[in-house]
Amino acid sequence: MQSPKMEAFPSLPPPVHEYHSPPSPRTHRTLRKLQSAHNLGAAARITNPPPLVPLVPLVPQQILQDPSLRSISPTRQQSLNRSPQRHRANSDATPPNLLVVNPAIPLNTKRSALSRTSSAADNMSIDRLIRDGPPEGDVDGALESMRLKVLDQGIKSDTDGMSSSRIYVWLIFLDAPVVTTDDYLGLVHRGASPAYSKIRNDTFRTLTTDPLFRRRVSEASLIRLLNAIAWKLHDVNEERRPTSSRQSLPASSCGSPSRSEISQNMASSPAAKSRARALTLTTEDSEVNASEPGTYVQGMNVLAAPFLYAARSEAEAFAAFYRLLTRECPGYIRGAMDGVHRGLALVDRVLAIVDPKLSLYLTSKALSAEIYAFPSVLTLCACTPPLPEVLRLWDFLFAYGPHLNILCIVAQLIMMRNELLDSLSPIKLLRSFPALQADQIKRTALAIVKMIPDDVYTEIVKHAL
C-alpha cells in the first residue's frame, strides 16, 4: 500500500523584525499560527501514543554496507498486535521508508505498527498544519501525519538549520503549554537564582567552537533562560516540601530587588556590572542553596542551546526546554542524575546485543559508556556538531520520543565500528564523536529498534523518568 501524496513545503520567507511598525496582516497571521499550534499541541493530551516502528532486524554489517538502503522506495507494513507493557513511547509509528533487507527474519509480534493518520492532514504541509490546526478537529490523526512528514520529508530549513516552523513543531510534539512573555520576564526579574553561580561557570563555554550558535545566541540570553528554569524548578521543589522544612531565601533573591540594591550591585565591581547586564537584574547572593538538587546540573547549558537557536523568542525556548526537563527526562536533573547513568548502562546493553564483537572489544579496553557517552546521553547528542544536524536529529527525537537518543548513540558507535576495531586506542576516537549525520543515524537507530528485546526497550522508554 503506497503512502498518500504529501504536499511539498512552501517556501517560507525569512522572519522580518519590525519593532515600531503598526500591526500588519502578517502580525495577524502570526497570531493565528501561534493559536493553532497551541490547539494542536497543548490543548490536546494524547491518551494512546503510537506504537513501535516494526522493522526487520539488521545486523551492523548490513546497516553499514548494504548499498540498497540508500535507495529504498516508500512502503508501509501491516499492523501487528500492540504490547501492553509500553505506555508512553512515541516511537511506534511505521515510517515511510522501511529498512526491509532480510524478509526471512520474523518480526516480533509484540510490537505494533501504524496509528491512524488523518487523510486530510496527509495532504497538508507541516507549515499549513501549524497555521490552520488539525483538519476537522482530528488532533490524533494530524499528529500522526505530522510525525510521518517529519520522518519522511523533514522540516524545511536553510543551510544554517534555521526554520520558522521548527520551534512550533517541537512545542506541539512536546505538548508544551503556552508560557506568556510576562510569566517568563517575571522569572528573569527575580534576579539570581540559587543556581546562578553554577550557571555562570558554564554558559561562557557553551558551544564555543560553533560559529552559527555564537552568532545567533548571546551568552546573556542563555543565562536568562537557565536562570529562569532554575527559578521555576526551585519553586516546584519548594511547593513539594512540607511547610516546616521550606528554606527562606533573602528578600533580594525571592523578589524583584529594589533600585538601590541594583545600583549598589552594579557599582560594586566590573564583574557585578557584567552579571547585571547579562541577567537584567541580579544580586551578589548567588551561592544560596547552590547545591540544591533538581534546579541545575552541569550540561544543561548545552541541552538548552538548540532551543535558543531554533526559537524565535526566549519565552518559546523556555516553554519547550522546561517541558522537556519535567516531562521527558526529569531523571537527568534529579539527585545524582540517576536517569543519565541508567541511560549509559543501556547504551552498553544495547551495543552488546546488536554488535557483540564491538562491545567486547571496547570492554577489553576498559571502555564503558560511562567514560565516553555521558555528554551524548545528557544533551541528547547536542554536544556533537554540526548544529544543523543536531536540529534535524531532534526533530526525529521529539516526534517519536527523546528516549530513542540511546539508540542514536549506539547507531553512532556502529557507524564508526571499523575505525574503532582497527584502533589500538579507541578512546582517542571516542573522546570526540564524528560529525553528526542525522539521516544515517535515524536509519540505523530505526533498524536497531527491532533487534532489542521488549524488556530492554521498556527500560529505554522509562530510563529518564
What mean pLDDT do residues 289-303 have?
73
Torsional class of 166: left (φ above 0), alpha (ψ -120 to 50), beta (otherwise): alpha
Is 214 a residue whose pLDDT tops 50? yes
* The predicted structure's pLDDT at residue 461: 96
Is 308 a residue whose pLDDT tops 90? yes
Is 445 a residue whose pLDDT tops 90? yes
For the chain, first and last CA: distance in Å? 37
At which residue does the C-alpha cell 512573555 appear? 181
Neighbours of 390 (CB within 10 A): 27
Residue range(s) in the chain whose domain bears CATH number 1.10.472.80: 60-114+331-462
* The predicted structure's pLDDT at residue 433: 95
What mean pLDDT do residues 310-336 have?
94
Neighbours of 140 (CB within 10 A): 18
**Single-letter code of the amino acid located at 272:** A
At which residue does the C-alpha cell 547545591 appear? 291
Q: How far is CA 330 from CA 194, 235, 295, 406, in A?
A: 19, 15, 11, 16
* The predicted structure's pLDDT at residue 10: 43
Q: Nearest 10 degrees: CA dihedral of 356, 359, 363, 369?
A: -150
Cα 254–chain centre separation: 30
Is 432 a residue whose pLDDT tops 70? yes
Neighbours of 280 (CB within 10 A): 15
Average pLDDT value over all residues in the chain = 75
* The predicted structure's pLDDT at residue 123: 83
> What does the alpha-carbon distance between residue 453 and residue 442 come to, in Å, rounded to a whole number?
19
pTM for the whole structure: 0.70
> What does the alpha-carbon distance between residue 10 and residue 152 come to, in Å, rounded to a whole number?
16
* The predicted structure's pLDDT at residue 18: 41
ω into 386 cis (within 30 of 0): yes
| 359-400 pLDDT, tens digit each | 999 999 999 999 999 999 999 999 999 999 999 999 999 999
Is 160 a residue whose pLDDT tops 70? yes
Is 179 a residue whose pLDDT tops 70? yes
* The predicted structure's pLDDT at residue 313: 95
Is 279 a residue whose pLDDT tops 70? no
> What does the alpha-carbon distance between residue 366 and residue 432 come to, in Å, rounded to a whole number?
17
Spell out the CATH class of 60-114+331-462. mainly alpha
The confidence band for 30, taking pLDDT boundaries of 50, 70 and 90, is low
